[in-house]
A and B are shown apart, each in its own frame.
Chain A
Amino acid sequence: MQPRVTAVLVARNGAKYLPRTLAAIAAQSRRPDSVIVVDAESSDESLALMADSAPAQIADAHAHKTFGGAIGAALYTAAPQATENEWLWLLAHDSAPDPNALRALLGAVEIAPSVAVAGPKLVRWDDPAVISNFGETLTPLGRSVGLVNDELDQAQHDVQTDAMGVAGAGMLVRRQVWTALGGFDPKLTSVDAALDFCIRARLAGHRVVAVADARVASSGGPELFGKRTISAAAHNRVQRFAQLHRRLVYAPAIAVPLHWLTLLPLAILRSLGHLIAKRPTAIAGEFAAAFAAIFDGGVVAARRNLRRNKKLGFAAVDPLRMSWAELREMRAHERHGAAPDAAFEVERPKFFGNGGAWVVLLAGILGMISFSRFVDAHALIGGGLLPLSTTVSELWAHVGYGWNDLAQQVVAADPFAAVLAALGALTFWNPSFSIVMLYLLALPLAALAAWLCAAAISERTWAPTLAAVAWTVAPSFLVALGEGQLGAVLAHILLPWLILTALRAAHNWAMAALAALLFAVITASAPSLIPALVIGLVAWIVLRPKSTHRLIWIVLPAAALFAPLVIQQWGRGALLAIFADPGLPVARVASSGWQLAIGSVVPGTNGWSELLATLGLNDRYGPLLVALLLAPFAALALMSLFVPGTRRAVPALALALLGFATAVAATHLTVSASGESEVTVWAGAGLSLYWLGLSGAVIVAIDSLGRHAALPAVVALVGILGISAAPLWSLASGNVPVTTSNGRLLPAFVAAESTQRDGLGTLQLTVTSDSTIAVDLHRGRGSGLDEQSTLAATSTELSDAELVNATLAGNIASRSGYAIANELNDLQVAFIVLTPATDPETSETRQRIIEALDGNSLLNPIGDTAQGYLWHYPELREAEIPVGASNTETRWGQIVLAGQATVFGLTLLLAIPTTRRRRLKAAKAESAVTVIEANQ
């Protein structure tokens, strides 16, 4: 008997495609016996177009927006099945069949009565030579996979017939089977709906074939039905939900609860996987799908439907599954097909071939000479440096939100504390040693960073070398090393890496994550750079708007680190205080504008004035000499604007301007204090950014000069090295504040007693000027660099605890009738130490304090130590140490730690580099899916 074919054409906003589709149906060599057109809530003239084709039936599938749902609704109202041999030909508005498509499909089903479903070969709407879908199957884990995806049709797949499933568009299905199986699963709205139907058909004992001769043009996958585009996140969600739904439906009843319980854990695990695979946008979809599956009410109905029709076990369809070996082979094909051609390869300077290694080696030697005093040091002290806490656990106890001895309250720790904790953990046996290592390696590390960054934007051999030398001996860097400004040192070493990674972050998640980590470390180390770096990042986002999501991630870890501090400073009404330099505050004289312009962080032109004075010359010529030496470098930088390559020169010089503005602003910002001295923000970090911009501009100039570059480069190099002579001399001769330390913050006697009892207090008195003292209350071995708090240093009002300390200190330093013993017992203070004199003007006040403490019968003078005069209070009545909650003991502390750990953990996962194939695949998974436009 002649089969009867009813074509069901479903349209949803497909007016652009319908004319071709309707014409193609009309032009069939074997025309369908009747055509039912279904409008699935179109908002355009789809219905009118279809009505014009004079179909047998027009159905308005109101409230059905999906392909399967619209078909079901149409058939519900259609004429009942006339003959047993009736077939449905399912078409979407964008399914334009070849003239002999239906004939070929019918041919395939007629020769094999067991075939209930036949699918055509779907080809691209705009290019019929490319197969977009031809048969679908499952991986061993149950994920659906197309057998052929976007392959050029060279008849290579034409032998294939039996398939696990076929696409829904263009599917020819026996109406009897369709009705028996209940059509598409209503829960599978697009993806996998046809595959699921085919699997159920196969389990019911029917066959599914893919017919190579039947070609149907298609503008996109089923998920695009009625849509112009679908975001990557939504696409991932739909696919994942379809897989989970099918898993719950297909699984043996006994395994369903198990599967159900693993939905959420799996989602978490897979999310981490997405991060490692650089698909962070898939995470939202992953969880949305998991939750949809957890509350999937359609599983029961679908399982019942499956069981009712099931005649065969899953073993019957297993041979059609894709095996692991086939999967690997298919991926290999994809990799091969995706290999980009290498026509755009750029010749970049080679690290080992073009002087990079030499520059780093020389910088290493220079560093060893400059810091030879530190080779056998255990810790450094002086300037802004202090030893770190003695154990790694103490280091980590000082991050987050918890009690701080110096602030005398529970405060948000400086973000720098986290940097120090990570740094100290590198040398876990002696955390302070990590700073010594950093000093010894600082110059080569800076050289390496600068060379690689410069090499990435330059083509000439000379340019990276010049940039690396200029960066390594940058005055702001050398002075920061000498003055112990650890934050500025770290920022200087890491800034080139940040630039390098931020430039690449626009297209690379791993780079964005790396840049985010670097951004966090740099801003934590030198908060004064935050405005400049954020402005730079915003500019970069404006230039690369498509990469906004990756570039925004760069600020996330830093934001997580700074959030508690910002909130607390805001609460105090001192938002500017977040720019205070972390670490030990040291009062210094700020440079003026022109001094900053010649790279001088502190007056004295980076040691030149002193060097000239030592040589018996007039030190007033120091600035002039430095300006002259800097002139060739500056001239090259400005010249970059006049030569080709302005697109690199302008951002570089803009960065330099930002850096200069940062440095100038820093000298006008005084937010923290050391005792009575007000501490101006360190301008060196801003100057490093300024120097970075200048170096970048010089690279552009050198690049454009081509073979004439040698002479100007050498002149600039000599000038830069000349400038660095004085600061390097200061470093090498030890004429700088930073010096070696035994790692002790308080006298050895205190350290020994503290091992007996933890948390013993030491009142540290420092005479800052006549009749003026600063007082700090230390616990245990003393407050190291990691325990410094800008919240303590920038406070402008005394807390109650500070008032108590001040009263105690003022009275203990005097002949007084104050009840000192009670106060010492309450505070659990067992020691008083008077720091060594630095200013002879204070000797009278010191003498008075020494006499008062010596004359106090409660106190036992221990004597003069390297850390100052020490007195012991032997009658201390043991009580609970009056300190607040640590960083893990409060709810807020836990939230802060957990939040920061989460952000950093995710960023770290994202920063793990992946293979090129995975990266390309991830890039594909990250992009939205779009239909092929109808009108070409």
Chain B
Amino acid sequence: MTKIKKMFKYDNVGILFVLPAFLYMIVFVGYPIIYNFILSFQDVTVKTLRKDIKEFIGFRNYIELFQQDNVLTLSLWNTLVFTVACIVFQFIIGFALALLFNKKFSFSKPVRGLLMMPWMIPITITGLIFKFMFSTDVGIINYFLRSFGIISENIDWLTNTVTAMPAVIFANIWIGIPFNMILIATGLTTIPAEIYESASIDGAGKIQAFWNITVPLLRPTIESVLILGFIYTFKVYDLVYVMTSGGPVNATQVLSTYSYKLSFEMFKYSKGAAVANILFIILFFVSLLYLKYVYTEEEA
């Protein structure tokens, strides 16, 4: 018996189970992150890629990106606009749907299940679908807007610098709604019905109950949905790349697409790495905030 008890005691056998996965992640994630930092302080282009010794140039890539290249600041701004706009809409719509599906009615479960579909579709395909729907002549969106008399001329959604960003945001909201809905719906089920019953006995209306009971009790869920939404939206890549590739004239250029463009279209690997690093650093701090938040919630 003592031997068996000992098997559960503090010991280092557990690490043998973890080691293979840990080493894998060191090789394919940990090392590349460090390598990416090193790259961003070097001057590696397609010409110097095969050289054994690469020149170290300090912060020059970053300085050049911030001072001479207004595409970087534009991409940073675009990423922020994209993220905030997406989160606001997908959160509000997701919340409304979660409230709806929290009611008990015959179709509640199956319909809620089907609504998860948009989240599962490969993003390349979502990009293709919306590129088709937003296209100028065949696009169904222009057709609807014309039939309702909202516009009289077709809009060049994806090739116009003003409308491209709203179109891409629209597509991303479609992806994000199920995610927000399901997490908020799960949070809602944790609020006991008795609280609402006693509130209604005390004469609270539905709107009062929403603001005074639902929102405060749901706060942990709301906060983690918003921070996670920020992280997932801020690193957007596929959708923008498929729909506009960052164009027209950088109107939808976000950090990830700009990094890709520098590395794999202009073959300035170090510059691309530097932009990716800026994205990484921002997300790293937001993730820290999120993790700190989740852990303090769990301990409380």
| A and B are partners in one complex rather than unrelated chains | no
